[in-house]
Structure 1
Amino acid sequence: MSISILIAEDQHMVRGALKALLELEADFRVVGDVASAAEALALLEHQPVDVLVTDIEMPGASGLALAERVQERWPRCRLLIVTTFNRRGYVRRALDLGAGGFLLKDAPSEQLADAIRRVAAGGRVIDPELMLDALGECDPLTARERRALLLAAEGLSTARIAERLCLSEGTVRNYLSEAIGKLGAHNRIDAARIARQKGWLY
């Protein structure tokens, strides 16, 4: 029985290489390769798959946001994160979302194929060093603080952030102040930089 796979990767060359590699496996069937979370969700509406192979940093919604939506809508779809970024916040968030695997893009191709088979069978594949690192430092931000910080990093003013989140400006200032304090940052932009480096903004 073949394993149906959807690839979500914004870099065209990388996406093409992944598809070509996976199509060499007799038991794999790549049913789609898309460049964004929105395209992945649109395809899944009409084509259920066994395994979603997704990058993290993509235009629009991130791979982690995509993983969250997929788990809500299609809980039987297994998740494998394949990324360039070895950030403990990403790994921890992927685990929290129930991802079956987390691999770096420089992993050998045979390791990717093996990981897909194990994830499709209900197993979990995460490099031991990545796992230990992920368990080291917890994300101190609340969901609201993270969202406010993410919008601040996009250059939005306090008033615009308040409008987007349907909150008062005072509440937004409190969220940003809390985030800055928790991260030991100098200002909101510095806080966003620190949080992004640690993989806590997604």
Structure 2
Amino acid sequence: MALPLKTKFRKKGPKTLEDRASVVATNIWRIAQEAVRHMEKEGYPLGGDRQVTSVITEIIAFLVQCSDRIVFGQLNEEERGRFINALSKHLARITSVNLEEFVGPGAYAGDFINTLNARFVDYSEFEFNGRNPSYSVLRYLGEKVSRAMDATDSKWVLEQVVDVETPELIKAIKKVVGEVLGVQVS
């Protein structure tokens, strides 16, 4: 992924967990957008703005889950909860602003949060190998993205997501979370 990630703060001084979550959220949005652009360049056409948004939302949910697994055991439970909550709220705001621009006025944050919560439940059923998602997690993401792209009739979406996109997504999220929070990522 040739996307430059922004992990440094411009202003000096102490940063709250919520400040750090905001930086991670902005990067997650950019990473998800870049993955969608890459898929389109690779010949996986996306339909309208709603389909693009559905795919981005699935990738975001995956990246938030990865973020949670990265910080697990490195932040105490209260800090971890604050981080994931702030991360989700920032992402809901970013998604709402972008959807209003893409699709038009609407109340998008609620649907986004509902999707995130549903995916948190789903992903909790899968194993991670330490801080790395297992194949079943990758396949689940691939299935969700494939389902979101049903109208495009691209039968190789699942393989593209699992084999090509997720290694780059994982590498990017580990870099962002590691650098912004100062935690171990391997």
On whether the aligned pair clears a TM of 0.5, the verdict is no
Q: Which has the larger radius of gyration?
A: 1
TM-score by length of 1: 0.28
Normalising by the residue count of structure 2, what TM-score does the alignment of the two structures yield?
Answer: 0.30
